[in-house]
Amino acid sequence: MKKLLILCTAVLFCCQSPQPEQSEEDTGNVEVSSRADEYKQAFDQLYNALMASDSAGAAAAVSADFLSYYMFSDIDTVDLQTEIQNWIDVGTRRLNQSIETIAYTALTVKEGDYVGDWLQVWGMYSATEAGVDLSNPFFANARMRDGKPAEMILYFDRLGYYQKLGFELTAQEGN
């Protein structure tokens, strides 16, 4: 948990550049959105459906062109059908899946490549796998379209999760 907190703090501070002085009318390229609660409900709807292996509920919770991007993972980019199948596969091994929200906010980017509304969620995913109770911190950044996630960028500690299950990291020869 401490490593995730340090990582999130580092990302927030490293990604910010000094802002020039602004007049009261100029809020820069990003502003806080008043739609955070609405967007968080859409996020919850998606993940409750995924944890329940509810394909129709997951499809209803996202935009038609939904994509997920997994950072620091062997999975790279997946569409909704692959995402649903991944959660169905995981559901055969895990019990008591839940997500606890630690914090969330919504932002609106006014121009540039990332224009639009975004929901950011910091949370804790928990489950029981192979008789081991696991908790894994995550950070999700979702671009919202028409009140639903259109794309999701996910960060989570895959190595820590597997180590809790008893796996050991060994270096490959020559590396």
115-156 pLDDT, tens digit per residue, is: 999 999 999 999 999 999 999 999 999 999 999 999 999 998
pLDDT of the residue at 171: 82
Q: How far, rounded to the nearest angstrom, does the alpha carbon of residue 105 sit from its chain's CA centroid?
A: 13
DSSP symbols for 14-57: HT--PPPP--TT---SEEE-TTHHHHHHHHHHHHHHHHTT-HHH
Domain ranges of the chain: 29-164
Q: Domain 29-164 maps to which CATH number in 3.30.750.80, 3.10.450.50, 1.20.140.10, 3.40.50.880?
A: 3.10.450.50
User: What integer pLDDT is reported at residue 55 of this predicted model?
Assistant: 96
The pLDDT value recorded for residue 126 is 94
How far apart are the C-alpha atoms of 3 and 157, rounded to whole Å?
Answer: 9
Q: What's the pLDDT score for residue 169? A: 82
- Stated as kind and residue range, the H or E segment containing 166 is none
Instruction: Return the SS3 of 175.
Output: coil
pLDDT, position 51: 95
pLDDT (tens, 9 = 90+) of the chain, 175 residues, equals 455 444 444 444 444 445 445 445 556 899 999 999 999 999 999 999 999 999 999 999 999 999 999 875 566 789 999 999 989 998 899 999 999 999 999 999 999 999 999 999 999 999 999 999 999 999 999 999 999 999 999 998 878 888 888 888 888 887 6
